[in-house]
Chain A
Amino acid sequence: MVLEQLIGNLIQGLVLGAVYGMATMGLSLIFGVLQIVNVGHGAFIMVGAFITYWLFTALGLNPIFAVPIAFVFGMALGLLFYYTAMKRLIKAPELASLLVTFSIGVLLQEIVKLIFGSEFRGYNWVVGKINLGITVLPMTKLYAAIGSVLIAVLLYLWFNKTRYGSAMRCVVEDSEGARVCGINVGGVYAMSFGLGIGLTVASGVLLTMFIPVGINPYMGGGYTLKAFVIAVLGGLASPYGAFFGGLVFGLIENGSYTLFALIPGVEPFALTRFFSFMILLAILLVRPTGLLKAK
């Protein structure tokens, strides 16, 4: 019985982790190519969440369709921010890009608050559950997980099979060398930023499939922290590392929540968030380049 519970827990953790991982890939991609830490990461996830919400409640559109729409919207947003702001910060001190990405996050928050107000929103997409015997999984969560894995695979193909993807990999390795090889480094930067943001906004859709409530302009902050823990876990510059880091984190978060829920007199939700922060600090202390070998 206990073993069943454990495996059930494992599955739940992995499903959650896949979505978390996918949500972090954009962050790692941007850092890998541009050496910029997107501190406003969570705000873009929030944007994706609101896109899903709006498409569902206003247009009756299935969240699965929201994914590509959110992705395209995200890419456009990313390119916009790249050309207006980020482009000038490539050579600037770190402080500058940290503060600008942070401010972009705040800006997005406020704009969304302006449009939708700050109440908590949610939507109800009923597609039933799947009973795996040891545990029960709502179909929405399953879709979210499958979607995440799919996107991760697509990204892998992009990097390894397409010319542009390879160009990106070259720039990560050595931007000067890439320039000498004739690669339009500026274009790669723009593309990478756009792609990274696109991925992040799309992940917001998948996250709402997982948790279709609590959508509000300020929801990003918590996700930013989680994304950083995952990114650092998997090696800040590697999108694949991020995905696997996500899986690990999903397992840890799910596991610790269950554990904390067993302790009387504490609030498990809050403690889990505290715990993830402790993990972050621990990794930063021990191995800031990540526990997994970056690819």
Chain B
Amino acid sequence: MKKAQKYAPILPVLMAYIALFVVGKGMTGMWQLVATLLFYCALGQAFNIFMGMTGYVDFGYVAFMGVGTYGMALTITRFADFQGFGVGIIIIGFFAALLFSTLLSLAVGAVALRLRGAYFAIATIGVNEGFRFLIEGARIWNGSEGLIFTAQLNQILGKQSASRLAVFWADVIVFGIAIFAACLTLAYMRSKIGYALTALREDEDAAKVMGINVTKYKIIAFVTSSCIAGLIGATSWALKTPYVFPPEVFEIHYTIEAIIIVLLGGAGTLLGPIVGGLIYGISKYYLSVILPGFQLLIFAPIIIVIIIMFPEGVVGVFRKKIKGTKLERYFM
């Protein structure tokens, strides 16, 4: 496959994200909505790397966002007094977030990823609960009182920059994370990793016999997906709203949204999470205006319908339609 052909699928992705960015900056008052949509797309891209590509569900996914948030929060609170570090502290915060999510995902993965589908799902249901209650129960990191670090953030960046960060730059970072996640997804899909994941998703035992170390590849997908989640948490939560409370950052709601986004768009596809993120984000936004608080009520049966009738999601159905045409190589 020529280089151009290999990377062609990233074009629609970049176009979509750039279009979003332009709309957000160009039209007044749209930035908030666009930022929310970017969040959902990024979340979807990250979650897709695991659930979409392996076919396993991590019901405790939000724990990684939570842990990433703590990573950033703790860095900010601990380093706030170091004069002159400025933005450097934020960067250290990202590394902390990465570190925390890597550690947690390795710990969970080592235990849970040896287990098959249903058992794995059960194990992950507990991760969320388990970790949150560990923090609250053992009063780690200020326990259930959480951390508030508005003051420290202001101290590090200066009040103006901090608020500019919250309403603009943090979202730009999310934008970057989303694009990064998409590129990583494509890279995986085109490499042995992608083939191994597809094989183990379709038939894990046959994959083993073909020489695939399924546990290793599951872990790769899992840790990647979780780390990106950690970065998203660090950015969208810690940097935009400088406080963190365990019940909020371990709220299963976000895992549900990630599942909806990936399924809606098309699990295992490159564009799926973007389509899913946009549809879900826009629907939620309008629902919150017309019928606030109803979005899960409406989306829960939608997921059921999708799984039973359109398991391949919007992008999956679209790909079937364009099979054999020239468009095929651009829409993965």
List chain A positions with a Cβ less than 8 A from chain B.
31, 37, 39, 85, 88-89, 92-96, 98-100, 102-104, 106-107, 109-111, 113-114, 221-222, 224-225, 228-229, 232, 260, 265-274, 277-278, 280-281, 284-285, 288
- What residues of A have a CB within 8 angstroms of the CB of B308 in the complex? 85, 88-89, 96, 100
Q: Does B282 contact A (CB under 8 A)?
A: no
User: Restricting to B104-126, which residues have a CB under 8 Å from any CB of A?
Assistant: 111-112, 114-119, 121-123, 125-126
Say whether B130 contacts A278, CB under 8 Å: yes
Contact present for A271 and B56 (CB under 8 Å) = no
Interface centre among B111, B114, B116, B133 (most CB of A within 10 A): B133
Is the Cβ of B118 less than 8 Å from the Cβ of A110? Answer: no
Pair A281/B307 contact, Cβ less than 8 Å: no
Contact B303 A99 (CB under 8 A): yes
| Cβ < 8 Å to A, chain B residues 23-67 | 51, 55-57, 59
B304 interface residue (CB < 8 Å to A) = yes
Q: In the complex, which of the residues B115, B129, B297 contacts A284, with contact meaning CB atoms closer than 8 Å?
A: B115
User: Are A281 and B111 in contact (CB-based, < 8 A)?
Assistant: yes
Question: Residues of B with Cβ closer than 8 Å to A?
Answer: 51, 55-57, 59, 111-112, 114-119, 121-123, 125-127, 129-130, 133-134, 136-139, 143-144, 252, 256, 259, 263, 293-294, 296-297, 300-301, 303-304, 307-308, 311
Known contacts A98-B118, A111-B297, A270-B136; decide if A285 and B130 are in contact (CB<8 Å). no
A106: which B residues are within 8 A, CB to CB? 256, 296, 300
| Shortest Cβ gap from B160 to chain A (Å) | 38
Tell me which of A37, A93, A277 contacts B126 (CB under 8 A): A277
> B57: which A residues are within 8 A, CB to CB?
95, 98-99, 102
Cβ contacts under 8 Å, B114 to chain A: 285
State whether A224 and B307 are in contact (beta carbons under 8 Å apart), knowing that A95-B57, A267-B136, A288-B115 are contacts in the complex. no
Whether A103 contacts B133 in the complex (CB less than 8 A), given A37-B122, A98-B118, comes out as: no
Flag if A284 contacts B136 (CB, 8 Å): no
A224 contacts which chain B residues (CB < 8 A)? 125
**Residue of chain B at shortest CB distance from A37:** B118
Chain B residues lying within 8 Å of A110, measured Cβ to Cβ, are 294, 296-297, 300
Query: B297 and A273: CB pair below 8 A?
Result: no
B304–A103 touching, CB < 8 Å: yes
Which B residues are CB-close (under 8 A) to A85? 304, 308
Instruction: Decide: A96 and B311 in contact? CB cutoff 8 A.
Output: yes
A39 to B122, CA, bound (A): 8
B contact residues around A221 at 8 Å (CB): 129, 252
Chain B min CB distance to A116 (Å): 13
Contact (Cβ within 8 A) B122 A280? yes
In the assembled complex, the Cα of A102 lies from the Cα of B112 at a distance in Å of 19
Instruction: Given A271-B137, A273-B129, check contact A94 B117 (CB 8 Å).
Output: yes
How distant is B168 from chain A, measured CB to nearest CB, in Å? 33
By a CB distance below 8 angstroms, the chain A residues around B296 are 106, 109-110
Q: Known contacts A228-B125, A273-B129, A280-B122; is A267 also within 8 Å of B139 by CB?
A: yes
